[in-house]
């Protein structure tokens, strides 16, 4: 086994350890059915101000779950008339990322594994559903599906993920200064970030 190609480590396993606990919905989480809105206007996944983005719209579900829709546009093609797999994975990633908000936890994707079960044509609405299954320390285990033909249609894509809880400093210290300064100057963005600080 070469160092450049290490084995898939137990450290990044997608299976929660035996002492993982059930996720807890924050008391101030929005009621089921409430749109979550974009966490950042320029986010590729959900930002309304991102012309190249997916414009995914997520709503709170029951417990620690969300539903979302993403419409596949011609700009999202891989093969002629079919969605690119990486774009579909991005939609799953964004949906899984938004579900952490219901626990009032900021988290980033550590590991994400996608199964592609059916091709997804351009103009299809992908009906996404994501939920947290377990929490272990800073690790959040979650799973998502994307269905076509309606919210109860066949599963076209699915994913399992581990997200890692981070502080807001993760973004402030690692993001490009230009965008961080702009985010800090946006009262809405600061309010969103503060919500995590006052309701840990
Ligand atoms: C006013 C300005 C405000 C600006 C803020 C703006 C918005 C903020 C609000 C919300 C935004 C939040 C999310 C966005 C939502 C959706 C978008 C989709 C999500 C993404 O697209 S996000 C981008 C891709 N993502 C990354 O860019 C991560 C890069 N990466 C790192 O930044 C580090 O790598 C990190 C932080 C992950 C860990 O680093 P670290 O040093 O903090 O943690 P450490 O190593 O100590 O691990 C602690 C425990 O996690 C386990 N662990 C570690 N790494 C793991 C892995 N990969 N897989 C599985 N488990 C892992 C260890 O095994 C240990 O587990 P144990 O405790 O059991 O030992």
SS3 string, 21-83, reads: ECCCCCCCCCCCCCECCCCCCCCCCCCCCCCCCCCCEEEECCCCEEEEEEECCHHHECCCCEE
How many residues does this entry show for the chain? Answer: 200
How many domains in the chain?
Answer: 2
Whether residue 137 has its Cβ less than 6 Å from ligand 1: yes
Instruction: Report CA(57)–ligand 1 centroid distance (Å).
Output: 23
187-198 vs 177-184: helix crossing angle, rounded to 10: 80
**In which residue are the tokens 């550590």 written?**
110
Q: How far is the C-alpha of 140 from the C-alpha of 131, rounded, in Å?
A: 10
Based on the fold, state whether residues 95 and 177 are members of the same structural domain: no
Least confident of 9-18, 25-34, 59-68, 183-192: 183-192
Q: Is 161 among the domain residues?
A: yes
Based on the fold, state whether residues 161 and 174 are members of the same structural domain: no
Q: Which of 80, 100, 190, 83 is nearest to 142 (CA)?
A: 100
Residue 37 has pLDDT above 80, yes or no: yes
Based on the fold, state whether residues 68 and 128 are members of the same structural domain: yes
Nearest CA to ligand 1 atom 54: 110
Based on the fold, state whether residues 149 and 177 are members of the same structural domain: no
Based on the fold, state whether residues 160 and 182 are members of the same structural domain: no
Residue-wise pLDDT tens digits, 109-140: 999 999 999 999 999 999 999 999 999 999 99
Report the share of the chain in percent with pLDDT over 70: 91
Q: Is 10 among the domain residues?
A: no
Based on the fold, state whether residues 66 and 158 are members of the same structural domain: yes
Cβ contact 28:104 at 8 Å: yes
**Ligand 1 binding pocket mutation candidate from 53, 56, 164 (most atoms within 8 A of CB):** 164
Q: Is 12 among the domain residues?
A: no
- Give me the CATH number covering residue 78: 3.10.129.10
The number of the ligand 1 atom at minimal distance from the alpha carbon of 101 is: 10
pLDDT score recorded for residue 151? 97
pLDDT score recorded for residue 124? 97
**Ligand 1 binding pocket mutation candidate from 18, 49, 110 (most atoms within 8 A of CB):** 110
Based on the fold, state whether residues 138 and 188 are members of the same structural domain: no
Containing structural domain, residue 58 = 19-166
Q: Is 6 among the domain residues?
A: no
Whether residue 140 has its Cβ less than 6 Å from ligand 1: no
Instruction: Report CA(109)–ligand 1 centroid distance (Å).
Output: 6
Whether residue 22 has its Cβ less than 6 Å from ligand 1: no
Based on the fold, state whether residues 162 and 176 are members of the same structural domain: no
Binned at pLDDT 50, 70 and 90, residue 197 comes out as low
Cβ contact 162:141 at 8 Å: yes
Q: Is 140 among the domain residues?
A: yes
Nearest CA to ligand 1 atom 43: 164
Q: How far is the C-alpha of 76 from the C-alpha of 83, rounded, in Å?
A: 6
Cβ count near 156 (within 10 Å): 22
Q: Is 14 among the domain residues?
A: no
**Ligand 1 binding pocket mutation candidate from 108, 109, 185 (most atoms within 8 A of CB):** 108
Residue 144 has pLDDT above 50, yes or no: yes
Instruction: Report CA(122)–ligand 1 centroid distance (Å).
Output: 32
Q: Is 8 among the domain residues?
A: no
The token pair that represents 6 in the structure block: 């290490």
Q: Which of 129, 97, 101, 96 is nearest to 26 (CA)?
A: 101
Based on the fold, state whether residues 26 and 100 are members of the same structural domain: yes
């Amino acid at each position: 086994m070469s160092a450049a190609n290490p084995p898939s480590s137990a450290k990044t396993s997608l299976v929660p350890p035996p002492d993982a606990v059930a996720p807890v919905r924050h008391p101030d989480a929005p009621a089921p059915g409430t749109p979550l809105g974009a966490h950042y206007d320029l986010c590729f996944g959900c930002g309304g101000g991102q012309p190249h983005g997916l414009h995914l719209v997520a709503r709170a579900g029951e417990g620690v779950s969300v539903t979302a829709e993403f419409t596949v546009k011609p700009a999202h093609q891989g093969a002629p008339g079919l969605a690119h797999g990486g774009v579909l994975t991005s939609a799953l990633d964004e949906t899984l990322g938004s579900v952490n908000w219901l626990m009032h936890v900021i988290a980033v994707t550590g590991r994400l594994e996608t199964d592609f079960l059916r091709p997804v044509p351009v103009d299809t609405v992908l009906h996404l559903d994501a939920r947290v299954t377990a929490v272990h320390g800073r690790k959040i285990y979650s799973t998502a599906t994307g269905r076509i033909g309606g919210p109860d249609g066949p599963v076209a894509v699915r994913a399992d993920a581990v997200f890692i809880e981070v502080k807001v400093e993760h973004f402030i210290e690692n993001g490009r200064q230009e965008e961080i300064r702009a985010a800090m100057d946006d009262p809405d963005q600061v309010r969103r970030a503060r919500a995590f600080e006052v309701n840990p």
